[in-house]
Structure 1
Amino acid sequence: MAKTLFDVKNDLVTIGASLAATKQDKLAKASDPEAKIEDIKALETKESSLQARFDILQKEHDQMEADQKASLDRDRSPISDAGDPKAKVTAAKAALVRATVRGERVTDDVRAALGDNNSTGGEKILPKTMTNELLHEPFVKNPLRGSSTFTSVTNLEIPRINFTLDDDDFIADTETANEMEAVGDVVTFGRHKFKVFVPVSETILAATDTNLVQTIDRGLESGLAAKEKKVAFAAAPKTGEEHMSFYGSGVKEVTASSKYLAIKKAIADLHEDYRENATIYMTYSDYMDIIEILSNGTTNLYSAQPEQVLGKPVEFCDSAVDPVVGDFQYSHFNYDPEVIYDRDKNVRTGIWDFVLTAWIDHQIKLKSAFRIAKKS
């Protein structure tokens, strides 16, 4: 078994005590006229042997102590020495990832730098859902990030609409009024668990803090974006997640002989309060089909902005198999601030996965603010 610095310290004390005692015995024998010279020489030999052992242990002790100090300095300095708050968070994220993947304890200063209100030190490991610290662009993007609302609040409850009047009949849209009566005026967010796996090699772990955090942030951001798109546009939502999907929550469908006409009809079918801020989410393939039909052999429309063609801003998303039209401020994603990080060994590749467990909910606060455009 390899000796620790503590073991070497104990050995030094033991050998040192024996060496001191031998020196005293040698002096005592040398001062005794009756002592045999052979006994004195034996004590000299013993002293030399103990001195050699002591010198070896002392050298090893000094080296181990220096290595330990250097290791502590490496672990501590990125957090304690980083003057820039962003650099401090980057260093803390890197330390958290390395400790998690290697099965080591996450230090208190790392937890403090990342926010320790939930005892996990994970509040700031959720990348860029509500912040702008991304160093690299993600592999996967969620176009809803620019239109929907994103928060991170435990047990979030919010009003379904942003204002009320003393006139009970102030809601001009009867569909909204009926919806409010049916579902109530408060939206309560739940917790739906999911995991994101980011592969981490030893090369990445040994990289600079910035490169390591870039890799982890980009992977986590991509995983979160993919999850958000998946639940919001799920054609066949999982049991218990139906309310998160525009296609599974009961949003009104508007049909026409083509998707172009269905989109126009859907926009017109929205109440003016929602129509004013409406955006269209659709596949690029559907849009190109519409352009091909409308252009009638010319190329004029191919250079036009989608908003000029369809009358409302357009966001392309391959998951939006049937165009969704509406005011997306009534689409609200909420993450629970509590996150759990763990590791998992990929036995096929030998690479560790940095695992983030999080909880999400997507609430369509007012279904009457949306329409699904379908070809009949």
Structure 2
Amino acid sequence: MKTIFELKQDLATIGNQIQKTNNEITQKAADPKTAMDDLNQLNQTKGDLQQRFDIIKTQLDQMEAEQRASLEKGQFSNSNDPKQKVIDAKAELIRKTMAKEAVSSDVYQALGDDSTSNGGKFLPKTVANDVISEPTVKNQLRGLSTVTSIPNLEIPKVTFTLDDDDFIADMETAKELKAKGDTVSFGRNKFKVFTGISETILLGTNTNLVSTVEANLQSGVAAKERKVAFAETPKAGEEHMSFYDATVGIKSVVNADLYKAIKAAIADLHEDYRENATIMMRYADYLEIIETLANGNATLYTAQPEQILGKPVVFSDAAVIPVVGDFSYSHFNYDINALYEQDKDVKTGINLFVVTAWFDHQIKLASAFRLAKKA
């Protein structure tokens, strides 16, 4: 088989012959003494040469493409655009994981990681804001709760004190700090997110692949966050993550109906927490309140929930008991380490991209919240 250099030589030789034949055709066409058979023969010769030139050019292009692919093997991206380089790196990480192949250090470096964290920033970026497509499942606590990705995180429960003050105005907060300490230490609770990837997506463009996987991952993470935060019967070891678990110690405010219970819960908060309070509740419960208050008057149905209840309202079907409080004291923290694995759903035959990660949800101050219950 000829080399690329030899093919280029052949191509140059045939190219010169074609040029020479063109010149000869031009000269003879202008000479009235030239027979038409001679011109036809020259045209036939030119056609044959052009066909040979095209065949060799196709072979040369194919060999050069194969050579480029061979030289680029192991390089995940040739893009100069930093954003595209990250997308290419994530796509390479997914494809290599699915193929059970080792991921190169270049990929991890493009994801902003060093050798010690092994690409672990991929998931925290996904759960934070580095997504291309909107997730299909949302956690309504996002935008209210604090979300970080700091390993071994430990923070104070109260953000500031005064140098001439030895007490905290809210006695419930003071008692809580005395009983539980004034710092919060975040643990590592393992969970897995599975996302099915079809062959068409896996073989598609990098952007579509990363878009699909990241949206699915964030949906899984959002569902997990919401599940642990509003679990009525938490799993062992996850009790501290739930607003509803008795060990967390959030005070319940009970009244004759849910409307009065929510209003009383807001009033029961210390003013420091009441100022930034939000109500998290089910939409069905809100409609029941409106129906009771309206008593046939349709104007209440068009009013904003904040006008009715006095504080901003966020709806979530997971909030079976309305939670009232300052949700900045609800804090999700993700450990930067993550594991990437490949699995297969034997029932459907779909290949799964699996991310194992560690996170914790801490309710930093139970006194910043109230549970509104109907008697």
With normalisation by structure 2, the TM-score equals 0.80
1:1-376 to structure 2, matched below 5 A, reads 67=66, 69-70=68-69, 73=72, 76=75, 79=77, 81-117=78-114, 118-131=116-129, 133-248=130-245, 249-376=248-375
> 1:240 deviation in Å?
1.3
> 1:69 deviation in Å?
4.5
> 1:126 deviation in Å?
3.6
Q: How far, CA to CA, are the matches of 2:281 and 2:67 in structure 1? A: 58
> 1:296 deviation in Å?
1.1
* 3-state SS of 1:96 partner: helix
Q: Is the 8 A contact 1:323 1:373 kept in 2?
A: yes
Q: How far, CA to CA, are the matches of 1:288 and 1:242 in structure 2? A: 30
Deviation digits for residues 9-33 of structure 1 (CA, Å, limit 9, x no counterpart): xxxxxxxxxxxxxxxxxxxxxxxxx
The unaligned stretches of length 5 or more in structure 1 are 1-61
The answer for the alignment partner of 1:36 in structure 2 is none
Q: Is the 8 A contact 1:127 1:217 kept in 2?
A: no
The answer for the alignment partner of 1:21 in structure 2 is none
- Structure 1 residues 72, 121: closer, same or farther in 2, change over 3 A? farther
Q: How far, CA to CA, are the matches of 2:70 and 2:284 in structure 1? A: 55
Q: How far, CA to CA, are the matches of 1:72 and 1:96 in structure 2? A: 20
Deviation digits for residues 137-159 of structure 1 (CA, Å, limit 9, x no counterpart): 10100111111100000000001
- Structure 1 residues 116, 68: closer, same or farther in 2, change over 3 A? farther
Q: Which amino acid aligns with 2:358?
A: W
Coordinate RMSD, CA, aligned: 2.0
Q: How far, CA to CA, are the matches of 1:136 and 1:74 in structure 2? A: 29
Q: Is the 8 A contact 1:234 1:247 kept in 2?
A: yes
> 1:64 deviation in Å?
9.1
Deviation digits for residues 74-131 of structure 1 (CA, Å, limit 9, x no counterpart): 762x52x222211111111011000101111112211111133334223134444333
Q: How far, CA to CA, are the matches of 1:169 and 1:275 in structure 2? A: 23
* 3-state SS of 2:362 partner: strand
Q: Is the 8 A contact 1:126 1:220 kept in 2?
A: no
Q: Is the 8 A contact 2:126 2:217 kept in 1?
A: no
Give identity over the alignment, percent: 62
Q: Is the 8 A contact 2:321 2:371 kept in 1?
A: yes
- Structure 1 residues 72, 211: closer, same or farther in 2, change over 3 A? farther
Q: How far, CA to CA, are the matches of 1:303 and 1:241 in structure 2? A: 40
> 1:66 deviation in Å?
6.2
* 3-state SS of 2:118 partner: coil
With normalisation by structure 1, the TM-score equals 0.80
Q: Which moved more, 1:233-242 or 1:120-129?
A: 120-129
- Structure 1 residues 74, 300: closer, same or farther in 2, change over 3 A? farther
Q: Is the 8 A contact 1:127 1:220 kept in 2?
A: no
Q: How far, CA to CA, are the matches of 2:322 and 2:230 in structure 1? A: 10
Q: Is the 8 A contact 1:326 1:371 kept in 2?
A: yes
Q: How far, CA to CA, are the matches of 2:264 and 2:147 in structure 1? A: 29
Deviation digits for residues 269-309 of structure 1 (CA, Å, limit 9, x no counterpart): 00000000000000010011111111111211111111111
> 1:235 deviation in Å?
0.4
Q: How many residues align?
A: 313
Q: How far, CA to CA, are the matches of 1:73 and 1:302 in structure 2? A: 63
Q: How far, CA to CA, are the matches of 1:344 and 1:264 in structure 2? A: 50
The unaligned stretches of length 5 or more in structure 2 are 1-60
* 3-state SS of 1:106 partner: coil
Q: Which amino acid aligns with 1:110?
A: V
* 3-state SS of 2:141 partner: helix
> 1:68 deviation in Å?
6.7
> 1:352 deviation in Å?
0.8
* 3-state SS of 1:103 partner: coil
* 3-state SS of 1:143 partner: coil
Q: Is the 8 A contact 2:117 2:336 kept in 1?
A: no
The answer for the alignment partner of 1:16 in structure 2 is none
Q: Which amino acid aligns with 2:314?
A: E
